[in-house]
Amino acid sequence: MKQTTTYLIGSIALFAALGVGLVTASNNYGIHTERGGHYLSDEDDDEREGKYAGQRLGFGEDVPRAADPLYLQECGSCHFAYQPGLLGADSWGRMMAGLEEHFGDNAELPDAPHQKIRQYLVANSADRVPAGRSAGFAADADTAPLRITETAYFRHKHDEIPPRMVIDNPELGSWSRCEACHTRAAEGSFDEHEVRIPGVGPWDD
Ligand code: HEC
Ligand code: HEC
């Protein structure tokens, strides 16, 4: 028993030391460990340097994945259940206030689920929890865009992909279908190396 306790305390101390080591390494060299321990050093990603980088981000996630069952059911029936961290709090508030005219569809909900989903989205929005790439999507939270695909960060990340592969692509047709190209979108992963564009194939630039 005593031995087990000693072993446990020893392990905890070891893990704590490792943790401190990682944090120190990332501070000294400007490298990130938030993608589940992989070192990333994307020059073009200064937005992730913020003090929130890594906060509430799970293994392999670029944005915290959507886990709320009610949300997944109600907001994932017509399209991909966009992670709350892809838009700012005001965007979600505006969207939830106008569900009866939601991009040409009626997406109205009864009171109770409506309130729960709104709270979930706002509490986990890109500006409230700017973990990983959510910090990028939070950049124009002030203007409360209704589309993720209209944010400056989204446009910047996709500006090299020609319209023939998306809007004019008979197998795709819309930028809003994240999951059609990002094979692990549902897991919160938007790594460019995991992209497969329908009718085109893997993306390599
Ligand atoms: C009845 C079907 C339907 C339901 C239910 C629905 N949506 Fe949508 N949603 C749409 C359509 C249609 C679009 C536009 C897609 C396009 O342009 O390709 C859209 C677009 C969106 C976009 C913008 C995507 C972009 O282009 O950046 C967001 C965000 C969104 N929906 C969130 C939600 C949320 C949150 C809920 C749950 C409260 C929800 N949707 C429920 C039909 C629906
Ligand atoms: C036509 C396929 C396609 C669609 C649809 C698409 N993406 Fe992408 N996305 C890409 C490609 C390709 C890249 C890499 C671009 C590059 O490196 O030039 C990318 C890059 C990204 C990045 C940056 C990743 C990195 O490693 O730098 C994020 C974040 C992202 N997409 C999120 C989204 C979200 C959210 C949606 C849906 C609202 C979406 N994408 C829809 C193809 C797509």
How confident is the model over 114-151, as pLDDT tens digits?
999 999 999 999 999 999 999 999 999 999 999 999 99
How confident is the model over 31-74, as pLDDT tens digits?
333 443 333 334 444 444 444 455 688 889 999 999 999 999 99
Q: Judge if the beta carbon of residue 79 lies within 6 A of ligand 1.
A: yes
| Alpha carbon distance, N-terminus to C-terminus of the chain | 57
pLDDT at position 205, please? 75
Q: Judge if the beta carbon of residue 169 lies within 6 A of ligand 1.
A: no
- % pLDDT > 90, the chain: 70
Average of pLDDT values for 182-187?
Answer: 97
Give the model's confidence band at 110: pLDDT under 50 very low, under 70 low, under 90 confident, else very high.
very high
How many angstroms separate the alpha carbon of residue 79 from the centre of ligand 1? 6
Give the model's confidence band at 21: pLDDT under 50 very low, under 70 low, under 90 confident, else very high.
very low
Q: Which residues line ligand 2 (CB under 6 A)?
A: 62, 86, 133, 148-149, 157-158, 160-161, 165-166, 175-178, 180-182, 190-192, 195, 197, 203, 205
pLDDT at position 7, please? 64
On whether the CB atoms of residues 100 and 109 are closer than 8 A, the answer is no
How many angstroms separate the alpha carbon of residue 43 from the centre of ligand 1? 33
pLDDT at position 49, please? 43
pLDDT at position 12, please? 56
On whether the CB atoms of residues 55 and 131 are closer than 8 A, the answer is yes
And the tokens for 192?
Answer: 């460019």
Please state the domain extents for the chain.
Answer: 63-202
Average of pLDDT values for 91-111?
Answer: 98
Q: Judge if the beta carbon of residue 33 lies within 6 A of ligand 1.
A: no
Give φ, ψ of 38 to 5 degrees: -75, 140
